[in-house]
Chains A and B, each alone.
Chain A
Amino acid sequence: MSDVAAELVGPVPPAEVPELELYHPRSWITKYVFCQDAKVIAIQYSATAMSIGLVALVLSWLMRLQLAFPGSLALIDNASYYQFITMHGMIMVIYLLTALFLGGFGNYLIPLMVGARDMVFPYVNMVSYWVYLLAVLVLVAGFFAPGGPTGAGWTLYPPQAILTGTPGRDWGIILMLASLILFIIGFTMGGLNYVVTVLQGRTRGMTLMRMPLTVWGIFTATVMALLAFPALFVACVMMLLDRVLGTSFFMPSVVELGQQLTYSGGSPILFQHLFWFFGHPEVYIVALPAFGIVSDLISTHARKNIFGYRMMVWAIVAIGGLSFLVWAHHMYISGMNPYFGFFFATTTLIIAVPTAIKVYNWVLTLWRADIRLTVPMLFALGFIVTFVNGGLSGLFLGNVVVDVPLSATMFVVAHFHMVMGVAPILVVFGGIYHWYPKVTGRMLNETLGKLHFWVTFLGAYAIFFPMHYIGLLGVPRRYYELGQTAFVPPSAATLNVFITVAALIVGAAQLVFLFNVIWSLFRGKEAGGNPWRATTLEWQTPQTPPGHGNWGRELPVVYRWAYAYSVPGMTQDFLPQNQPPAAAKAA
């Protein structure tokens, strides 16, 4: 790569940037609450997302208790079970993962990594967070509404979602749809910021092909989200109209518990197309930031350049593009024209190629590396195992004819949890262990971190790997209880108990993490500016944690790509992106 030959880069005049027209907080409220600094907004996003994520965690415990010991907890009847699965799914996918990767990591890392002072539209960025918080509150309000939150399943398929056979039909579904609409409005404001900042806010020398893969991942995911979320937005508005005003966008003439309803002529399958046109890209909206972040974690902690950087960038872009052509693989047995199956199976399996390339490049980065088995590195390794596992089970479900017996079984539940639950969350943790020192100035405790990693990784694997086999057996998903079913042997119930015990342990291990985050804030080891000896710009800030405006009087100037680790002939095993070539030679 030409970027490597540092001396070939011509001299770049130093940037004497005059005081920009930055927003300056004048009071405690504008500094910490209604703040326009992307770093504070990032922490607000992350804290909100993780708080609501804890709710989802508790819901998953309740579901697992019901599946292992049916009927033993009076608290969980069939209506509340469906409310739990719905809220768990929606929270994890939208309000935790999407918000955390884009609103959390995106806000913190994009300006720092591209050498900007802040997002380009700080005020809109602030509003984005507050609208997101409102969306979360409206979502939570469902728990307190008469009839409780909706129990329509996270896919909210009509007609069922708005008919009385489904819990939360009165208020829950309305609040859910309103919350999603708010979320999308808030996200759009944040998302435009991330995209424009990456395109317009990069410092001098930071060409697109010198950007760290973290930025590439978040950037591509944001572009995708801006294109995909509108489909969900209109679907929510249309369903809300069906529910409240009695329109028939998604409602054919149907009978509700023996009564004829006035709906007629609508199409429930149209909702599925809109939902999955959003829903499949959504998988990659969560996955691409994880791909990017994990690439940087592996490279930094293996002290080796990421293998095949250009291929990695193109793979991200290719996956982003292809992911808009695969949505109907969620609908193979929906009754859509069966000939679509040929097209969508083909596109779905093609997407496996760029995805596999990414996996190869991660493991090849480890080849002849100098691997530091730090906590972020462990999480990155855990990600590769679970992502490969979940990605490969996707080859079953994407291949239309194999999907027919397996769809709507626990195999699907196991697959998507492994690939878009466990794998990205391991990256979230890896990312937090990695960047916490920059955010707080202190290291997270390593012993607690390793404990957290091993219990979470092995425990989550023990939950979801065996679950595939319950699905192979034919056990359907979304069953409050299986009851007496001839084709299911009693041993499957034992396996369910095992899975539940693993889930309880993994959940409890997250308390170790929470304790670590809070304890280290006060007692953690002082980190210094660049504890991992990393090359990217966020580690080269004049202050740690970075001050308002990120940089001093001068913006950094970038001379090379983000992966100059262990460059031959250098005494230091890393060259920061902003280190001038002359200084690099001397070093």
Chain B
Amino acid sequence: MVIGLILALVAIGSVLFHVLSPWWLTPIASNWNYIDATIAITFWITGVVFAAVVLFMAYCVFRFRHRPGQQAAYEPENKRLEWWLAIVTGVGVATLLTPGLFVWSQFVTVPPNASEVEVVGQQWLWSFRLPGTSGHLGTSEARFVSPENPLGLNPSDSRNRDNIIIVGDDLHLPVGKPVKVLLRSVDVIHDFYVPEFRAKMDLMPGLETRFWFTPTRTGTFEVLCAGFCGVGHPQMRGNVVVDTEDDYRVWLQKQQTFAQLSALKQ
């Protein structure tokens, strides 16, 4: 009897914890509201199932605990019930999966008007590159990395000359404009993670990975590394500053191009 009660309290306590918890997703700052909505749907469905299963079990433990003279029923199978449960579960799973796949198809479809930003990871520093006035990011490879060329831009690719390089400083983005983020690492796997943007992606050495999002409010957001990258992993931090269009222009004017930086260092 006590045991049934404790099991019921575990179910009720978990639901109460969920409702009363001050710990929840950070306020969103990107277009991925649908991700939050999918999480909410998932909490509802799984919460109901969890409470139902545990409370049913608690009831069984209370109701059918051994008492003298009691005999268990003998019922090896119940095809009808088993198929019903399987079908209901299938419907529940489909209810979770359908919105999930719908949102994922948006996630993998980059809007054609998205501007490009490159994120470059190295142990344990975030760097960024923006296309210059010509609008192109030039080629790059880890084997071009040197103290003068920390991001490994191909020096013989003329399209690199006007690329804007930001090493160890904040990245600024204009609010309300979709951004296609291209990610590249020159050493190990990192992961570009801004909790408020919801989207995140690994930086995979040897590959260029990508994702997109639209910042929806101005402010400064912390960049963390979410891909374990060695002893300095927790210290690999940076900031993304989401500006109004005008502030962004002002910031962009002050940044230096690859050509300018190369000239400085020689």
Point out residues on A near B: beta carbons under 8 Å: 1, 4, 78-79, 82, 151-153, 157, 159-160, 163, 165-167, 252-258, 260, 264-269, 302-305, 307-311, 333-335, 338-339, 341-342, 345-346, 349-350, 352-353, 356-357, 359-361, 363-364, 366-373, 378, 381, 384-385, 388-389, 392-393, 395-396, 399-402, 404-409, 458, 461, 465-466, 469-470, 472-474, 476, 478-483, 485-487, 489, 491-492, 495, 563, 565-568, 573
Contact = CB atoms under 8 A, between A and B. Distances in A.
Contact of A335 (B24, B85, B207, B234): B207
B70 A385 contact: no
A480 B224 CA distance: 13
Main secondary structure of the interface of B (DSSP, over half): mixed
B263 interface: no
> Which of B54, B152, B195 neighbours the largest number of chain A CB atoms within 10 Å of its CB?
B195
B147 A381 contact: no
A81 B244 CA distance: 42
Nearest to A461: B10
A378 B86 CA distance: 27
Contacts of A255: 122, 142, 145, 152, 186-187
Contacts, number: 318
B73 A268 contact: no
B206 to A, nearest CB: 3
A254 B187 CA distance: 5
Contact of A253 (B46, B143, B196): B143
A469 B100 contact: no
B93 interface: yes
A378 B6 CA distance: 12
B204 A254 contact: no
Contact of B53 (A152, A363, A465, A487): A363
B49 interface: yes
Contact of A333 (B14, B23, B202): B202
Contact of B191 (A360, A408, A458): A408
Given A255-B145, A267-B206, A366 B89 contact: no
Contacts of B78: 307-308
B141 interface: yes
Interface in B228-263: 228-235
A491 B108 contact: no
Contacts of B73: 304, 367-369, 566
Nearest to A387: B53
Interface string B66-86: 100011111111100110011
Nearest to A348: B97
A151 to B, nearest CB: 7
Contacts of A566: 71-74
Given A367-B60, A373-B3, A388-B54, A479 B142 contact: no
Contacts of B222: 485-487
Contact of B202 (A334, A389, A393): A334
Given A385-B7, A399-B38, A566-B74, A334 B186 contact: no
B205 A159 contact: yes
Given A254-B205, A335-B209, A370-B71, 4 more contacts: A1-B77, A473-B195, A485-B222, A567-B74
Interface of B: 3, 6-7, 10, 14, 17, 21-26, 32, 34-35, 38-39, 42, 45-46, 49-50, 53-54, 56-57, 60-61, 64-66, 70-78, 81-82, 85-86, 89-90, 93, 96-97, 100-101, 103-105, 107-108, 122-124, 141-143, 145, 147, 152, 183, 186-189, 191, 193, 195-196, 198-207, 209, 222, 224-235
B195 to A, nearest CB: 3
Given A305-B74, A335-B202, A474 B64 contact: no
Contact of A165 (B35, B39, B101, B188): B188
B27 to A, nearest CB: 9
A491 B230 CA distance: 28
A252 B208 CA distance: 12
Given A335-B183, A472-B23, A472-B24, A252 B35 contact: no
B60 to A, nearest CB: 4
A153 B228 contact: yes
B3 A353 contact: no
B82 A385 contact: no
A586 to B, nearest CB: 19
A479 B71 CA distance: 54
B42 A402 contact: yes
Contacts of B90: 353
15 contacts: A1-B77, A157-B189, A256-B187, A258-B145, A260-B143, A302-B72, A304-B72, A308-B76, A399-B100, A458-B6, A461-B10, A473-B23, A480-B234, A485-B224, A566-B74
B42 A396 contact: yes
Nearest to B122: A255
Given A469-B23, A491-B22, A563-B76, A257 B123 contact: yes
Given A367-B60, A566-B74, A487 B26 contact: yes
Given A353-B89, A396-B39, A473-B25, A333 B104 contact: no
A352 B93 contact: yes
A266 to B, nearest CB: 7
Contacts of B142: 252-255, 260
Nearest to B141: A253
> Which of B10, B78, B228 neighbours the largest number of chain A CB atoms within 10 Å of its CB?
B228
A389 B143 contact: no
Contacts of A305: 74-76
Contacts of B7: 381, 385
A480 B186 CA distance: 23
Nearest to A491: B22
Contacts of B60: 363, 366-367, 369, 371
A199 B44 CA distance: 44
Contacts of B76: 1, 4, 305, 307-309, 563
